[in-house]
Amino acid sequence: MFSIDLLRDAVVLGVLLGCFYAAVSIGLSISFGLLDVPQVAHPAFLVLASYGVYLLNDRYDIDPLLAGLMLAPLFFALGIITYRIYYETFERRGSDAAVRGIAFFFGVAFIIEVLIIVQFGVDQRSVTAPYIGKAWRFGDLRIPIRQLVAFAVAMGLTVLLAAYLSKTFMGRAIRAVAQDEEGLRLMGADPIRVKQVAFGIATAVVAVAGALLIVVAPVEPTLDRVYIGRTFCVVVMAGLGSISGTLIAAIILGVAESIVLTLFGASWAPAISFALLLGVLAVRPQGLLGR
């Protein structure tokens, strides 16, 4: 079952899917990639944001993306608090911070899961918006508009974050903190404060990505488990901390998944993306655009 038309469609849909993956991974690219915080609860925060968006959409009929933006400041604060706790309890005490940090964030993820279940029940939830459930026609190719929204948001986030990290003082400080904490201290910036802000931004981005998550597909409380592998896969494949790498890796993943789904056995799709990751790790351990 092969035709050029199918391949073309698979690639187009794959690129869009990849952009969606990029959007949900980009926060992790900062928190884990740049700051080295093993944020295993990232997907749980993502789902939490989705439920927040659901609430705003369901009760007050607010557009999901707008709701995501409204949640962003809240998540920024949440990120700052989370990093503070992480720093005080693990990073400062040194030694096996990574191992216990992972366990800590796993615990946080579980607690979030249960809180969502208690509040919203186990059923899946979705939102309504004018762009959900419609498609654009390009000849005989039809593209779901929500996928285009994901594409636009991912592009926007990538461009904005890349610009922020290279153009502003704070952004440069964030990149510097990833490489040379000591040097940053000499520059007169407090690395802990810089990291705190960076983590806040990463979490604020998660709020927007959470909106996208529920726009693209319905969510349920334990959805985060699926995204642990997927988001970390993207970030590691990208090369830690590389924003543009995140976009590229996510698109490669999306296209690979889409092509396998369309042209080969659909049931092999998850294995293909992770085999790709292992392949990249074996050949180029620092990731596609790694430092």
Partner 1 sequence: MNRRLLLGWAAAITLLGLMPAARAEEPPIRIGMSMPQTGGLAGGGKASLLGIEIWRDDINARGGLLGRKVELVVYDDKSSASETPAIYAKLLDIDKVDLLFAPYATVPTAPIMPLVKQRGLLLMGNFSFQVNSKVHHDMWFNNAPWGPADSWATGFLTLGQKAGGKTMALLSADQEFAQNLATTARDVAKKLDLNVVFDQAYPPSLAEFSSIVRAMNATKPDIVFVASYPPDSAAILRAVNEIGVGDNVRIFGGAMVGLQFAAVMENLGSLMNGVVNFNTWLPEPSMYFDGTKEFFETYSKRAVEAKVDPLGYYLAPYGYAMGQMVEAAANATKSLDQKGLAKYLHENTMQTIVGPITFAENGEWKESSTLEAQFRGVKDKNVDQFRSPGKQVILFPDRLKTGDLITPFEKARE
Partner 2 sequence: MQRRSIAFWLGAVVFLAAMLAMTQLVRNEYPFFAGYVILQFVVLAVAWTILGGYAGYVNFGTNAFFGVGVYTAVLLVKAFGAPLPVQIATAAVVGSLLGLGVGLLTLRMRGIFFSIATIALAIIIETSITNFRFVGGAAGIQLQRPPVTAPFDSYVKMLFFVQALLVVIAVAITRGIQNSRIGRGLHALRDDELAAECTGVPTLRLKLLACVISGALMAAAGAPAAMYLQYANPDSAFNLNYSVSVLAMALIGGTAHWIGPVLGAILLGATQQLLAVTISSEVNVLVLGVMLVLFVVAAPKGVIGLVQRQPKRRGGSK
CB-based contact 158:247 (threshold 8 Å): yes
Q: Quickly tell me which residue has 């026609």 as its tokens.
A: 137
Per partner kind, with CB cut-offs from 5 to 8 A, the member of partner 1, partner 2, none near residue 186 is none
Using CB under 8 A as the binding rule, whether residue 288 contacts partner 2 is answered as no
Site string for partner 1, 77-116 (x = CB under 8 A): ----------------------------------------
Using CB under 8 A as the binding rule, whether residue 194 contacts partner 1 is answered as no
Stretch that binds partner 1, among 40-48, 81-89, 258-266, 274-282 (CB under 8 A): 258-266
Stretch that binds partner 1, among 91-99, 104-112, 119-127, 237-245 (CB under 8 A): 119-127
The strand pairing partners of 137, in sequence order, are 142
Closer CB to partner 2, 114 or 160, in the complex: 114
User: Which member of 39, 82, 158, 258 binds partner 1 (CB under 8 A)?
Assistant: 258
Using CB under 8 A as the binding rule, whether residue 123 contacts partner 2 is answered as no
Per partner kind, with CB cut-offs from 5 to 8 A, the member of partner 1, partner 2, none near residue 187 is none
CB of 263 vs partner 2, minimal distance in Å: 16
Give which of 45, 109, 39 is closest to 72, Cα–Cα: 45
Closer CB to partner 2, 43 or 191, in the complex: 43
DSSP output for 120-134? H-SS-B----TTTT-
Q: Write out the binding residues for partner 2, residues 17-36 only, by CB under 8 A.
A: 32
Q: What is the CA 152 to chain-centroid distance, rounded? A: 15
Tokens coding 23: 């959007």
Per partner kind, with CB cut-offs from 5 to 8 A, the member of partner 1, partner 2, none near residue 13 is partner 1
DSSP output for 193-252? HHHHHHHHHHHHHHHHHHHHHHHHS-B-GGGHHHHHHHHHHHHHHH-TT-HHHHHHHHHH
Using CB under 8 A as the binding rule, whether residue 134 contacts partner 1 is answered as yes
Give which of 20, 18, 40, 27 is closest to 225, Cα–Cα: 40
